[in-house]
Amino acid sequence: MLSIPFKKVHGSKNDFLLIDENEVLNSLNHSKRKQLAQSLCDRTNGIGGDGILFIQKSDHCDGKMEIYNADGTVASMCGNGLRCAGRYIMEKTGKNRVVVETMKVDLTVQQYETEQSVPFIQVEISPVSFDPSSLPMVTDKKRVIGERLPELSNQLSFTAVSVPNPHLLSIVSKEVLFSDQLFQLASYVNGENPYFPDGVNVSFIYPIKAGEIFVRTFERGVGFTNACGTAMSAASIVAILNGLHQYEIPLTVYNPGGFVKTIVHNDNGNLSVDLIGNATYCFEGTVQMDFHTGAFHWLKERSFEEEKDYALLEKRAKEIVDSIR
């Protein structure tokens, strides 16, 4: 049995287990990380979560984050997860601004001053690319922005962008937003299809009013999620491209798990996004894992009071969401 300390954390209710590999006596490899994700993230027989954030040493940054989805697949990035991992790394290093190594790029994370009682963290989301090969997406178009894709829908227009996770997004009506179209579409593009050989995250965007949008996401490797940080970042870009918002101005993005603020920057055509939101600790404990048999048991050792503070923000977001149903 290997003893593994963990924290249960969430960003906008996109929940994860956080495991600091520096505190695990025996080193973990890809196979063990995959087994941990599939076992511990199971919401029926495990602890439950959308994935695991593995914190590792970096040879050139303040820390490294590696993300495994609940199904054992590896994600290149996760904005909500990065806020939680960044907060943890800041606390470990005693800094209020750190650079975190992720699979494709090194990203800045810093504390964000707010009147909220909940800790808010600002993370950098980049690079942004509309090149279909970056998703990857099979198409003869140089980019897909507000395009009809007949294989997917005759009514909806789509934008495909990587941030760097791959996203397919559409601005929809209220009726479409809460219909079963998102599930049907996401299931199709994450199975055998002519456009996305590796699957793609799919989001529907609903404009609430000036400065506010709602995003509902089906996340690749997870399914419907309370929130997806890179999806909310991508949705903010799509909102601007469709004239619903402007660069350099904060946008409030609601989701089923709460809300975040985003600021989209445009530096001579190079886009990046500041994703600002909670990074909440729920509880911590220890897992005893037998990798040979797959058997494990876990113990909750301490709960954090800050989850109660977040519940007030979640209630506010829920009222907004309920108002548009």
User: What's the CATH number where 237 sits?
Assistant: 3.10.310.10
Q: Is residue 127 part of a domain?
A: no
Q: Return the percentage of the chain with pLDDT > 70, whole number.
A: 100
Q: Is 230 annotated as a binding residue?
A: yes
pLDDT of residue 278: 95
Q: Pick the catalytic residue: 41, 78, 84, 282?
A: 78
Question: What's the structural domain count of the chain?
Answer: 2
Residue 52 has pLDDT above 80, yes or no: yes
pLDDT of residue 317: 86
Question: Same structural domain for residues 45 and 181?
Answer: no
Q: Is 154 annotated as a binding residue?
A: no
Q: Is 220 annotated as a binding residue?
A: yes
Question: Same structural domain for residues 51 and 173?
Answer: no
Question: Same structural domain for residues 101 and 184?
Answer: no
Q: Is 302 annotated as a binding residue?
A: no
Taking all residues of the chain, what is their mean pLDDT, rounded to a whole number? 95
Residue 117 has pLDDT above 80, yes or no: no
Is residue 78 part of the annotated active site? The answer reads yes
pLDDT tens digits, residue range 90-113?
Answer: 999 999 999 999 998 999 999 998
Question: Same structural domain for residues 163 and 258?
Answer: yes
Is residue 61 part of the annotated active site? The answer reads no
Question: Same structural domain for residues 111 and 22?
Answer: yes
Q: Is residue 125 part of a domain?
A: no
Q: Is 69 annotated as a binding residue?
A: yes
Question: Same structural domain for residues 302 and 183?
Answer: no
Structural domain range at position 31 = 2-119+279-324
pLDDT band at 221 (very low <50, low <70, confident <90, very high): confident
Residue 224 has pLDDT above 90, yes or no: yes
pLDDT band at 61 (very low <50, low <70, confident <90, very high): very high
pLDDT of residue 230: 95
- What would the two tokens of residue 236 be? 């903010």
- What would the two tokens of residue 148 be? 């009809």
Residue 116 has pLDDT above 80, yes or no: no
Highest average pLDDT, of 114-118, 170-174, 223-227, comes from 170-174
Q: Pick the catalytic residue: 41, 61, 228, 282?
A: 228
Question: Same structural domain for residues 189 and 81?
Answer: no
Question: 201-209 and 212-219: which strand pairing?
Answer: antiparallel
> Taking residues 153-164, what's their average pLDDT?
96
pLDDT of residue 251: 98
Question: Same structural domain for residues 175 and 206?
Answer: yes
> Taking residues 174-200, what's their average pLDDT?
96
Higher pLDDT, 58 or 307: 58
Question: Same structural domain for residues 296 and 256?
Answer: no
Q: Is 268 annotated as a binding residue?
A: no
- What would the two tokens of residue 267 be? 């530096």
From CA 261, how far away is CA 249, in angstroms rounded? Answer: 10
Range from 2-6, 97-101, 219-223 carrying the lowest mean pLDDT: 219-223
> Taking residues 255-276, what's their average pLDDT?
95
Question: Same structural domain for residues 229 and 313?
Answer: no
Instruction: Please provide residue 76's backbone torsions phi and psi, each rounded to the nearest 5 degrees.
Output: -75, -30
Residue 252 has pLDDT above 80, yes or no: yes
pLDDT of residue 313: 85
Q: Is 314 annotated as a binding residue?
A: no
Q: Is 14 annotated as a binding residue?
A: yes
Q: Is residue 124 part of a domain?
A: no
Question: Same structural domain for residues 245 and 309?
Answer: no
